[in-house]
Copies of this chain bind each other. A is one copy, B any other.
Amino acid sequence: MAISRRKVCCSFLSDVFLTYSTVKVVQVPNTLIAIVYRLIQLIIFAYIALYIVWLKQGYQQFQEPRGTSIIKVKGIAKVAGNETIRFVHADQTHLWDTAEYQMPPLENNAFFITTRQIVTYDQTEGDCPSALEDKLFCNSSESDVCPAGQPTPNTFGYFTGNCVPTFENASINVCEIHAWCPEELSQSTQFIMNKDDMENFTIYLKTMVTFTLFNINLRNVRDATNFTCRYHKDNDPHCPILRIGDILDSLNTNKSALLREGGLIEIRQDWTCNFDFHKDYCFPKLEFNVLQSGDDKLSPGINYRSAQKYRINGTEYRTLSKIYGLRFIVAISGKGGKFDIVNLFVAIGSGIGFMVIADIVCDAIFMYIHKYRERYRQGKINVCVISSDEENSDGNLTSILAMQKE
């Protein structure tokens, strides 16, 4: 029979607003299955509540901190200086204080401590023989090993094309170069910092971090901090004053190579905070890693060159320093977590979705495995033939049986 659209619509409305529809339920008095069913539900629930929400903190929102450090290095060291190559003098000792060994003096979340320095005094632009170490040997007759105007392999200067005796040994001929002379390798003074003095240096590390998401600011230095302390992994993990020696000892690396060739050391400050508790309970954990060791197979150590210029009656001179040292990087990492309604909501909501598993499993057992499956099917299933198509007789069969039962 045909029904007007209006009829359909109002039947729909009555379904929705005037009558409460609920699913018809079949109760099977079977304790075993009932227990199984509840058990599966329990497992799923426990999994959501305990693992996802609690352990993995599915109810929290996370952010990594951003921070800045103020670093002060304190200490003085004796330095052994000796003129290398060419002339050998008696060693003299020198003194390096912070102003001498910490350069650049001000950096952002990093600092550098010079451990070795090779200084070449009074360099000026001109022509001079290349150093023996460069191994640019030639003999005056054929000078094609010194192609004029070409940069030298170490890029310290350009070949003049001439072949001249070295400073070090007049009997050996090498290519002449146009460069800042004398060349670093042929005449320079080396300064080496005393290892023991250096290990007694202390670092004062003051950090301020921000978790913008939660609008929380934290410092590693609190009012309670005692400035006579020394950082120790276990005994005093919150102390902001670190002894270089302790850091180096905690590193698994070749220390003498590190001090000779320099290296890159990361001071990782890990701020893992749970801001559902009070922020003052959160202190950073320190970790030390060698990012670049002194005996690394590939380009070991760290060094850089810096020149200081000066003029004597119009000619420019410079003092060239090749500086080896320990570069420390303060890396701020970690994550702060705080309750977030969205994450909790999503975790639970999707958990509910999983509950259907229990139904599916138990149903499957009854429908296809249980020895009384037929009776169960009859109880659970009604067949309602709405059209005259005669496919799937089996379906009809069950329906007829079903009707007989009622």
Closest residue on chain B to residue A22 by CB atoms:
B26
Residue A320 CB within 8 A of the other chain: yes
Residue A295 CB within 8 A of the other chain: no
Closest residue on chain B to residue A334 by CB atoms:
B212
From residue A87, how far is it (CB to closest CB) to chain B in Å? 13
Oligomer: number of copies: 3
Majority DSSP secondary structure for residues of A touching B: mixed
Residue A106 CB within 8 A of the other chain: yes
Residue pair B204, A395 in contact (C-beta under 8 Å): no
> Which one of B15, B56, B66 lies within 8 Å of A333 (CB-CB)?
B66
Q: How far is the CA of A337 from the CA of B309 in the complex (A)?
A: 50
For window 286-321 of A, CB contacts with B under 8 Å fall at 289, 291-292, 297-299, 302, 304-311, 318-320
Closest residue on chain B to residue A98 by CB atoms:
B305
Residue pair B31, A18 in contact (C-beta under 8 Å): yes
Known: A35-B17, A333-B66. A341 touches B30 (CB 8 A): no
Residue A90 CB within 8 A of the other chain: no
Residue A74 CB within 8 A of the other chain: yes
Residue pair B112, A106 in contact (C-beta under 8 Å): yes
For window 1-60 of A, CB contacts with B under 8 Å fall at 1, 3, 8, 10-12, 14-31, 33-35, 37-38, 51-52, 56, 58
Residue A394 CB within 8 A of the other chain: yes
Residue A108 CB within 8 A of the other chain: yes
Residue pair B19, A29 in contact (C-beta under 8 Å): yes
For window 112-147 of A, CB contacts with B under 8 Å fall at 112, 121, 125
Residue pair A125, B95 in contact (C-beta under 8 Å): yes
Question: Interface-forming stretch among A162-170, A242-250, A370-378?
Answer: A370-378
Q: How far is the CA of A95 from the CA of B106 in the complex (A)?
A: 23
Closest residue on chain B to residue A316 by CB atoms:
B94
Residue pair B392, A18 in contact (C-beta under 8 Å): yes
Question: Interface-forming stretch among A231-239, A275-283, A379-387?
Answer: A379-387
Residue pair A264, B68 in contact (C-beta under 8 Å): yes
Residue A70 CB within 8 A of the other chain: yes
A311 / chain B contacts, CB cutoff of 8 Å: 121, 319
Max chain B C-beta neighbours (<10 A), residue from A51, A302, A349: A349
A158 / chain B contacts, CB cutoff of 8 Å: 76, 78, 95
> Which one of B21, B72, B308, B372 lies within 8 Å of A27 (CB-CB)?
B21
Residue pair B24, A179 in contact (C-beta under 8 Å): no
Q: How far is the CA of A264 from the CA of B350 in the complex (A)?
A: 47
A370 / chain B contacts, CB cutoff of 8 Å: 386
Residue A172 CB within 8 A of the other chain: no
10 nearest CB pairs, A to B = A379-B384, A349-B350, A352-B353, A99-B307, A24-B24, A372-B386, A99-B305, A349-B353, A20-B33, A29-B395
